[in-house]
Amino acid sequence: MHEYGDLIRIQDRQQAAEDPHPDSGPIFEAVQRLSSDFGPNKPRATFFPGSVLSHSRLVRQFFEITKSGNPDAILLTDLDRFESFDNHRAEYSLVPVINISGSPTHLADADLVPDDPQSWRDAAAIIRRFRTRREMLPATFRTAATPAIRMLAYLFVSGKDLTPVRVPQSRYFFAYQGFQNTRATITLAEALADAGMLRRSFVDRHSACPNCQSHRLVVREECPACRSANLSQAAFLHHFSCAHIGPESDFRQGSALICPKCLKQLRHYGKDYDRPGDALVCRKCAGTTTEPAVGFQCQDCDAHIDGDLIKTVDIHAYSLTDHFLSRLSGKSSAGVRPASGSINRLPPKLREQIGRFVGKTGSSRRGFVAKLDYASRHDIARTKGDDAFQALRQMFKDRLQGLLADTAHVHSSTDGDYVYFHSLTPEEFKDSSEQILAECDSVLSVPLRPKFEITWVGSGEETGG
């Protein structure tokens, strides 16, 4: 540790004469004020990669540079050397990455530009936000022992959604802010969304190579016969007497038009011939068409895919569900994680609905709540798109509400679909539940394979379905 500090001090002395940011002036004073605002808790930072490179003394004026301990930020110094960034990020998943490399990157939570005062203010605000929200996390999530916990905790302390950003260098043509491995990030986020911890939001739809999964595809018009993209547009002539239709270039002989089929000269437009329009001519096989095929060429594996065989992939952003956000912030049950079966586990609007029903009827029997789970959700969203699943889900809910009539109410929230059975007990419902679900599922073009899980009972009992 002493050796590391000595290297920094030596470098400071070497740079002092030529440092573009002297120990005075508006920028230096602004950075000094921001640093003093933190009081005795000056932000601690570690460099990544760990080598000591040429950094502005402004950075070391603002941060306390450390090689160990609990930093408040990771300072990203070199974008060409972050092969092990995921491992480093896993170790410090609850602190922001501040990019000081001079080149923008999706891996960072903020880009720090030494000459820009607003850049310093933004970095300071992000560090404060991470600090504040990190303290709100329950102890289970502060340790961040698994990738799932790390992702959930990071989304909470960052105060941001998991959002795709355009990255042309990526084979997927996008990446997620703050994460290096796009495929692993999607797999984990989808699993958390299926578990009701994250909420999906549609962003875009990409075509994907079925061979290597790359999204970097060139779409092009092709000859339907040989699939060549070497097409040219040509004006066509129609010779009335022999009914031959072909490119004008086939008829042209000098200044005259001679039919290549019957060798007669075409003299009068409208009497000997007409122009039916343009068509595409393939320079490879000489075929002609007015309806070219659509094809895709993968830029990563060079595979060719016919347009009707290409698959599409929906790109989503992910955000913490209301329930899980409350759990992470420690706001549910006065900062204590609710026990299984507690009404506080239910979405706020559903709790309000239960309260209104009890207040209106004066009934001490408050029924029970069952949550719907759709076993086919992931498969349908993957093969047909999330819009298809949402349409099937809505049809199912409408049918279910119709069958239950006045005995229950179907409630939807960001956490999922719930049914509040205000006039039945779990025992009364148990005998008919499978029949009701099967009847609702049978009218759908693609089965959702629904099942109920009883999550709350009015008497306070804990039960599961």
Is the distance from CB of 76 to CB of 92 less than 8 angstroms? no
pLDDT at 456: 82
| 103 token code pair | 């080149």
Does residue 291 surpass a pLDDT of 80? yes
- Bridge pairing between strands 288-289 and 273-282: antiparallel
Between 80 and 162, residue with greater pLDDT: 162
Q: What angle do CA 83, 84, 87 make, to 5 degrees?
A: 150
Which phi and psi (to 5°) does residue 96 adopt? -75, 150
What's this model's pTM, rounded to 2 decimal places? 0.61
Does residue 248 surpass a pLDDT of 70? yes
Does residue 63 surpass a pLDDT of 60? yes
CATH architecture of 338-457: 2-Layer Sandwich (3.30)
User: With pLDDT > 90 as the criterion, what percentage of the chain qualifies?
Assistant: 26
Does residue 33 surpass a pLDDT of 50? yes
Q: Taking the domains of the chain in order of start, what are their residue ranges? A: 1-136, 224-291, 338-457
Helix, strand, coil percent values for the chain (each to nearest 5): 35, 25, 40
Q: What is the mean pLDDT of the chain?
A: 81
Rounded to whole angstroms, the Cα distance separating 91 from 160 reads: 20
Q: Name residues whose C-beta falls within 8 Å of residue 116's C-beta, 6 or more positions apart in sequence.
A: none
User: With pLDDT > 70 as the criterion, what percentage of the chain qualifies?
Assistant: 83
Closest CA to 46 of 27, 21, 14, 68: 68
> Across residues 322-347, what is the average pLDDT?
60
> Across residues 231-244, what is the average pLDDT?
91
Does residue 277 surpass a pLDDT of 70? yes
pLDDT at 366: 58
> Across residues 356-362, what is the average pLDDT?
69
pLDDT grade, residue 65 (50/70/90)?
A: confident
pLDDT grade, residue 318 (50/70/90)?
A: very high
Does residue 459 surpass a pLDDT of 70? no
